[in-house]
Each structure stands twice: as C-alpha cells, then as structure tokens.
Chains A and B, each alone.
Chain A
Amino acid sequence: MSLHLEDPRVIEFDVRTDEMLVNMGPQHPSTHGVLRLLLRTDGEVVSQVIPHLGYLHRCAEKIGENLSLPQWIPYTDRMDYLAGMNMNLGLSLAAEKLMGVEVPAKAQVLRVMIAELGRVASHLVGMGAYGLDLGTFSPFLYAFREREIILDLFEELCGARLTYSYIVPGGVTHDLPAKITIPPGLAQLTGEKPTLQLSWIDACLRFLNWLEKRIPEYHTLLTENQIFIKRTAGLGIMDRETAIDFGCTGPVLRGSGVDHDLRRDGEPIYTRMYQGYQFDIPVAPFAVAPPEAVLGDNWCRFYVRMMEVVQAIRLVRQAIEKYPTAEGTHRIPFKQATKLPRKEVYLETECPRGQMGFYLVGADANNPFRARAKSSSFCNLSVTEKLCEGCLIADIPAIVGSLDIVMGEIDR
C-alpha cells in the first residue's frame, strides 16, 4: 500500500485506535428525522453502518384496515409529510383502480398541477436540507422562503399547509379559488401591495415566474460550489445494478443512470394523467457534471432533483394552460360506505422520493381487508449499509442526505 497523506487509512498506522460503536441519532439533526445509525468505526473510518428505524412507527397499515379508503387519506399525508399531495394521489389512484372508476379531465388537470407543485416544494426542502447537512446554511433559508409561498397557495386551496388531504378518491376536494389575497411572501418578493386580490392561477403564475429566475442562483450556491462538489462528487457511488437490486426508485435510481419514471413508464391509470404534457426525465450522467462526478454518486442524485424542479414547473405551467378548457367537474362521488369488491390492486406512483406503492385488498366490506403502503424511502434507505462501507464518519450525512429520506414514510 502506498503511503499517501490524503489516504485516511494512513492515520491508522500512526495512531492505534480501537474499534468503537457509535450511535448516530436518533436525534441527530442530519439524519432527517428520527433515524438511528449504529456505526462500527475504527478512528474516522466506518466499517459498518446498521440503521435502526421504527421510532415513528404507528402501524398505518393496521389503521387502514379499520377505516374506509377516503378516511385513510389523512394518514397518507403523514407518511411523506413533505409531499402530502403526492401521497394522497397515490392512494386515491389505487382506490380508483380497485373500484374501476376514472376521474374527469378537470380533476386530472388539477391533480397534475398540484402534485407537481408539491414536487417542487418537496425538492426545495430536499435541496435546502442537503445543503444544511454539508454545512451551508443559506440555501436552506432560500428554499424555505420559496416553499412558504407554495404552502400559502396550498392553504388557499384546501386550508392546510402540511397535511392537505386535498386529493381524494373521486377527484380533489375543492376547485381552484377565484379570488385570493396575494401570499405575503410573494407580495414582498415581487414588490406588490400585500392587499392585492388576484386569482389563484395568477398568483401561481407570478410565483413560477419568480422562482424560475432563482434556479440559476441555487446552482451557483450549491451545484457549482467547489466545497459542495468536493463533499458530494465521487462519494456514495451506486451502480445501476445495485440501485435496481436494492429497490431504489425516483431520483436515487435515475442518479444511477436508469431511465425510468412512472409518469411515463407507469400503469395506464397514472400515465393517462400525463398524456399530452411535454416533459423530460433527467437521468445521470449529465454533460454539465464537474469532472470529479461519477455516475451514481451523491452529486448526480442531487442534480437529478434540481433538474426535476425545472420539469415540474414546466408541467404546472402546462396544467394551468389546460385548466380553463378541461371538461367535467373537479370531483365525482366516492362514498365512504362503498363496498370494496373482492379484488386486489397494487399501484405505484412517482412521488418526489421515489415510487410509493399502495396495495389494497377488498373483501366486500367498506374497509379494505388489507391496506399496504410500500415506502420508497424505506427501500432507498436499505442501501445505506452498502453505500457507507469504508467511508469516513463525516461523509455519512453526505451519503444519507443524498438519498433524501423522510422517516414518516419509512416508519409509517
């Protein structure tokens, strides 16, 4: 072995250290919630990472067996609480697949608009929190400033800021409001009067116009930042086969170079929603990647999310264009006392963190006989042990953060 000073293992020859078991979490700020990682370390080098989960477990699946499907919607909000809209959508579509119904065009346009806006909000947190993990504080503040406006828009839409229960089996709960007061954050940022009255769509468009110009700034702050690149590029490398083998989905899968997105490759009941929309699916490797970046590393996963924000904005704009001419109502009846047929359905949708699946079994009763929520973060986290083998303690937040997990969804 060549003795090179940059090699972390060199220290091992100079200073004798013993193997140590270190608990990282469950209250460690960089574990994105209550995740405990048990590290087996020798000095700074980690030989094994054992994730311990379940701190937020409330057996949502058992709760689901005792509720009708519309009643279970609020519980899905609390799974991936950063993308409640997308969680609602997954269960609603699964319920509709079980019942064999399809919602009108207007409801579908609203669903695309809101789910993609939810994706923007979720990826903003993902971006900000990842910066925080790596020690840069400012992107986090900018991300939350932007997200705040989306939450204000959602609040005008359904009254809730985090746990929306807006997308329900049969459509969405409310149509878009005709007149709202401009969200305070947006008024301040665009220099409008805080009393300005405008339609929800106008407010949304003003926000998108404003947000689009900010994206190059985020790239300057993070993506092209030399410190950020040093911390992310070439670290936590996961090849294509590993990603598929460990059931990784979403940006984690696409960061490893697999061109797969359920909005294009999913089941018809889901892809029909996105028919007639133009959007690209960002997949690593990227031409703009810094020379240090390797396919499937932290940087690629992060950059996939950044590019998805741009695509999500594109989709929201197209949905806004389609909205005035979309036919039908925003909601068709879906009774709580609906007897679920003796069938079994499984449906996955493309949530910001990956493919969230709902498996529903009906048995001629109002409540599902079995309600299963397959979490995308759960599978993405399972690869941690492999990715962190032999890395430095300081790199663990960088690797786990790049998987962008939400514990509410993992523990259910």
Chain B
Amino acid sequence: MTIQEINARLVEKFGSQITGQNFDNPDPWIEVSVDAIADVARFLKSDPALAFDALNNLTATDWFDADAKKQAKLGDPRIEVVYHLYSYRNKHHAILKVKSPRWRDGVAGQLPQIPTVSSVWAVADWHEREAFDLVGIDFVGHPDLRRILCSEDWQGHPLRKDYEFPLEYHGIRAR
C-alpha cells in the first residue's frame, strides 16, 4: 500500500483524528491527534490490509528555539513524536506523527502526556523509556516509565532545546 492509500484508510476509520499529512517530504508522514494515537496504532497492527507488525523507530523532536525569530521559522513551539512502522507481511512502510504542546497545561516542568503504544509493539517499551529520558514525554499507560540511559537521579531531559547541562553531579564537576 502506498502512503496515500494508508492515509485514506485511516481517514475513513478515524475521521478528524487524522489531523494532517505531509506527502512532499522524502519520507511522507501522517499526523494523528494525541488522543487517538494508541487506537490508530492498534488498528494499524490488527487490520489485515495494513498489518504493521513492526515498529522500527520511535523518537521525538523538541521544536523550540529561544530566539523568537528562529522560532517563527520553526512554527509553534511543540513536541513531535514520530513512529516509523514497517509491515513484514505486506512489505510497506508508514510514518506517523503526533504533535503535542511542550509542557502540559503550559506549565514548564510538567511533561506532556501521550498515550503509550507499548501494548501494541513490545519494542516501544524501551523506545518510550528513552524518549521519556532524553526528550521528556510522559507516556500514559506505560508499564515501567523509568529513565533508561541517564542515571535514575538525573535532572532534566537532555534533548530538550532549552536543557541546561548541570554544573555538577554528586560533587563531580560536570561542565
């Protein structure tokens, strides 16, 4: 199936929950609303025509720049979670995207909430832990959302664009 056909099938099933598309990018993607992502994921895996049995990659980008001029070029400040899917059965690809505010309720420090897909693809368990650790996203419903690469008591989320590297860590000079 081409990405256009996949998109048509998703729009037919989920209607306005499919919030946008970009078919001009070298890797075209489909945008899904935050609330629907878990249901869309489940459908993508279980529907025999789609059968996306593998999640190749899950990651997130922080679209933020402290410089207002540069931010204007990047669009609204937001977090984008991207899901690269593949179907071993039907040999086709799809990319999903979810856009979320950088902080929940606009309060800095409150991580944005996105439903987990770890119950759909087991590999999402670790990928979501990594995205939580490095980008700072609260995957709601994740069975074990702990830091995975940074140490448990690390402060902040390094891949946030406004992340400030700590001056010291347990008395060790870090910068």
Binding site for B on A (CB under 8 A): 53-54, 57, 59, 61-62, 65, 97-98, 100, 241-242, 244-247, 258, 260, 265, 343-346, 348, 355, 357, 359, 361, 363-364, 369-370, 372, 374, 378-379, 382-383, 411-412
Contacts and interface: CB of A to CB of B under 8 A. Distances in A.
Interface string B130-162: 100010000000000001111100000011000
Contacts of B44: none
A245 B57 contact: no
A100 B149 CA distance: 33
B119 to A, nearest CB: 11
B84 interface: yes
Interface in B54-110: 54-57, 59, 61, 63, 73-74, 82, 84, 88, 91, 95
A139 to B, nearest CB: 31
A195 B174 CA distance: 50
A247 B56 contact: yes
Interface of B: 25-27, 29, 53-57, 59, 61, 63, 73-74, 82, 84, 88, 91, 95, 121-123, 125-127, 130, 134, 147-151, 158-159
B149 A245 contact: no
B149 A346 contact: no
A54 B159 contact: no
Contacts of A412: 149
Nearest to A410: B149
Contacts of B134: 59, 61
Nearest to A50: B144
B159 A246 contact: no
Contacts of B25: 343-344
A346 B29 CA distance: 11
B112 to A, nearest CB: 17
Given A247-B123, A258-B88, A363 B74 contact: yes
A114 B148 CA distance: 34
Contact of B84 (A65, A97, A100, A357): A357
A357 B149 contact: no
Contacts of A59: 134, 149, 158-159
Contacts of A258: 88
B42 to A, nearest CB: 14
Nearest to B121: A245
24 contacts: A54-B147, A54-B151, A61-B159, A65-B159, A245-B54, A246-B122, A247-B123, A258-B88, A265-B91, A343-B25, A344-B25, A344-B82, A346-B56, A348-B57, A357-B56, A359-B57, A359-B59, A359-B82, A369-B61, A370-B59, A379-B123, A382-B125, A382-B126, A383-B122
A344 B126 contact: no
A401 B25 CA distance: 40
Contact of B122 (A97, A260, A382): A382
B149 A372 contact: no
Nearest to A52: B148
Nearest to B26: A345
A244 B88 contact: yes
Contacts of B95: 346
Contacts of B148: 53-54
B150 to A, nearest CB: 6
Given A247-B54, A344-B27, A369-B61, A62 B159 contact: yes
Contact of B59 (A242, A244, A265, A372): A372
Given A346-B56, A374-B59, A378-B130, 11 more contacts: A54-B151, A242-B122, A244-B54, A244-B88, A245-B53, A247-B56, A265-B91, A343-B25, A357-B57, A361-B61, A411-B149
Nearest to A380: B123
A363 B123 contact: no
Looking at A242, A355, A372, the one whose CB has the most chain B CB atoms below 10 A away is A372
Contact of A382 (B59, B61, B123): B123
Given A98-B26, A344-B27, A363 B126 contact: no
The 7 closest A-B pairs by CB, nearest first: A247-B123, A54-B149, A57-B149, A370-B61, A245-B122, A374-B57, A382-B126
A62 B62 CA distance: 12
B144 to A, nearest CB: 10
A54 B150 contact: yes
Contact of B123 (A54, A241, A246, A370): A246
Contacts of B123: 245-247, 379, 382
A403 to B, nearest CB: 14
A346 B88 contact: no
Contacts of B55: 247
A242 B123 CA distance: 10
A97 B26 contact: yes
B56 A355 contact: yes
Nearest to A65: B159
B57 A345 contact: no
Contacts of B59: 359, 370, 372, 374
B32 to A, nearest CB: 16
Contacts of B151: 54
B129 to A, nearest CB: 10
A100 to B, nearest CB: 8
Contacts of B27: 344-346
Nearest to A361: B61
Nearest to B63: A369
